Structure 1
Amino acid sequence: MPLFFGHKNKNEENKQVQEIEIDQIVPNRYQPRRTFSEESIAELAQTLKEQGLLQPIILRKDKQEDGKYEIIAGERRFRAARSLDWAKIPAIVEDMDDAKVASLALIENLQREDLNPIDEAQAYLQLMKVNDLTQTELAKQVGKTQSYVANKIRLLRLTPKVQSFLVSKKITQRHGRALLNLNEEDQDRAVSEIIKRGLTVKETEAMVEDLDGYFAALAEAETQPDEKKKAKKTKKQIIKTGNDFKVQVNTIKQAIKMAKESGLKVKYKEDQQKDSYKITIELFNKN
């Protein structure tokens, strides 16, 4: 079944636009987009406030709840209108099966080209299920290569933690694919390191090749500076102690010199050891 069908067919102009109450509308359960930018919704709401709704949203009767309508296309417009506290919104009610609804929801979002990779992967998986398609068939339908679709779907094997960093764009898809060879625990450990140190894709790939070795080397590298610092501090203390002896000895010798100049006869003996410095002083009157 072709996915790229047009919901704006030649008879659409003759379809009646209805005013549907906002409270009667439920989101599209096949909506691939899990997150909506509050900023973009606010911008669209401002446009609706100034210009009104230029294109009605598309709905179908909800199969799960009587009296409700499910969004087929136009969820951003719906959310913007709801943020303005509209009571009703212009809509066209279509009769459409699940496969077409899922297909149209994906196509609408792909045309915007800002789906995050996880939402896109989930959408491809859902399209394959509802339309009973292989990856190759789906790729042909959506105008992508089979490898493109396969690489997107593989991202769903990443842990929720890694996926969240992909969605927030803290890591790239290439980072994500590099982590696929790791088990779940190691994926989470590795992605934390990527975020902490800002690792490039190349650095990430090198880390993944020997993850335990990477962290072992990292631990060793982090302890070495402490040992060097400690050794340096000890050496500094020894040097300082030596300098203290020298200062004190010079002070004593200066006192001996002053005693001699005052008329006293002075004899002194020095005995320097490794950890001590002994000075014996004898004072005599010249008379």
Structure 2
Amino acid sequence: MALFSFNKHHDEIPKNKQIQDIELAKITPNRFQPRRRFSEDAINELASTLEKEGLLQPIVIREKGDGEYEIIAGERRYRAAQSLGWEKIPSIVKNMDDDQAASLALIENLQRENLNPIDEAQAYSNLMKLNKLTQVELAKEMGKSQSYVANKLRLLKLTPKVQSYLASGEITARHGRALLPLSERDQGRVADEIVNNKLNVKDTEEIVKDVEGYFEQKNTDEELGKPVKRSPKRIPKDMRVQINTIKQAIKLAKDSGIKVKVQENKDPDDYRITIELKRK
């Protein structure tokens, strides 16, 4: 099954119209462009190459009517030419409908292999919807494993905040997948920790196992003026339940008028709590 097909007669273009110098002012970016972020450094580098060597590969566009055109492939080249002040750019004019134009734009960007993880995931999602493909069918068409495509698509289940970290490169796709079991609130909290403390994936996975324990320990360390460890050992969750029960009993004793002195060693490998009771 092809991702999209063309009507042969509809796609025939006279040779004298296949490559044309089209005015940049008449060209607009592709509304189906999967890439949401364009690196200014990359555009400037491409512009430098265009200035020295010219455009080696024409952009691909389609007619919109009234002498206007829309980019199908080559938006980076278009932006670089704009930055150089070019009036026209060599273009191949194709006859395509919306679905065909969207599919080609998505595929062209995916094949460049430098999309950020969220743009790549969204591109796969859009291709599946446009062409009514399953994950297995899409993976086969793109020459990827089904697990690769599935892992990319899972990233779209993350919160917008975490997705923005992924898109900017502040966290990796592996970080993102580690956060998937968490609630929206906890995804954001842990993502901030990853960025602020430069946590690796292993550290992240340890925090995710007991996220509440991590932030309880972090808050305690901050209150005591202690440096917060990157990946502190945490008291197991079942033990913390028992400890909280003991602390509730201590509070009841204090409320009843008993003077209570408590010393607590929070080492998870050798946890100790010492209680001294005295009447006031």
TM-score tier by shorter-chain length is: 0.7 to 0.9
CA contact (8 A) 1:4 1:107 kept: no
Match of residue 92 from structure 1 = 92
Match of residue 260 from structure 1 = none
- 1:92-241 counterparts in 2 under 5 A? 92-225=92-225
SS in 2 for 1:112: coil
Aligned equivalents of 1:4 and 1:44: distance in 2?
Answer: 30
Match of residue 78 from structure 2 = 78
Return closer, same or farther for 1:95/1:51 CA change in 2, 3 Å cut-off: same
Cα distance per residue 1:166-185 (max 9 Å; x no partner): 12222111110111111211
Structure 1 residue ranges (4+ consecutive) displaced by more than 4 angstroms after TM superposition? none
Aligned equivalents of 2:87 and 2:5: distance in 1?
Answer: 31
SS in 1 for 2:199: coil
Cα distance per residue 1:34-74 (max 9 Å; x no partner): 11111111111112212222222111112xx7432111111
Match of residue 40 from structure 1 = 42
- 1:38-77 counterparts in 2 under 5 A? 38-62=40-64, 66-77=66-77
Cα distance, 1:100 vs structure 2: 2.5
Cα distance, 1:28 vs structure 2: 1.1
CA contact (8 A) 2:63 2:93 kept: yes
The amino acid of 1:45's aligned partner reads: A
Is the aligned partner of 1:18 residue 2:23?
A: no
**How many residues of Structure 1 are paired with residues of Structure 2 in the alignment?**
221
- What root-mean-square deviation, in Å, do the aligned CA atoms of Structure 1 and Structure 2 show? 2.3
TM normalised by structure 2 equals: 0.73
Identity %: 62
Aligned equivalents of 1:142 and 1:198: distance in 2?
Answer: 33
SS in 2 for 1:32: coil
CA contact (8 A) 1:99 1:127 kept: no
Note the residue ranges of structure 1 that are not aligned, 5 or more in a row.
Answer: 227-287
The amino acid of 1:77's aligned partner reads: R
TM normalised by structure 1 equals: 0.71
Aligned equivalents of 1:219 and 1:49: distance in 2?
Answer: 56
Return closer, same or farther for 1:129/1:4 CA change in 2, 3 Å cut-off: closer
Aligned equivalents of 1:79 and 1:103: distance in 2?
Answer: 21
The amino acid of 1:44's aligned partner reads: L
Aligned equivalents of 2:55 and 2:191: distance in 1?
Answer: 43
CA contact (8 A) 1:32 1:106 kept: yes
Cα distance per residue 1:68-107 (max 9 Å; x no partner): 2111111111111111111111112111123332222222
CA contact (8 A) 2:20 2:92 kept: yes
SS in 2 for 1:69: strand
Cα distance, 1:2 vs structure 2: 1.4
The amino acid of 2:72's aligned partner reads: I
Cα distance per residue 1:177-216 (max 9 Å; x no partner): 1111112111111111112222221121121122111111
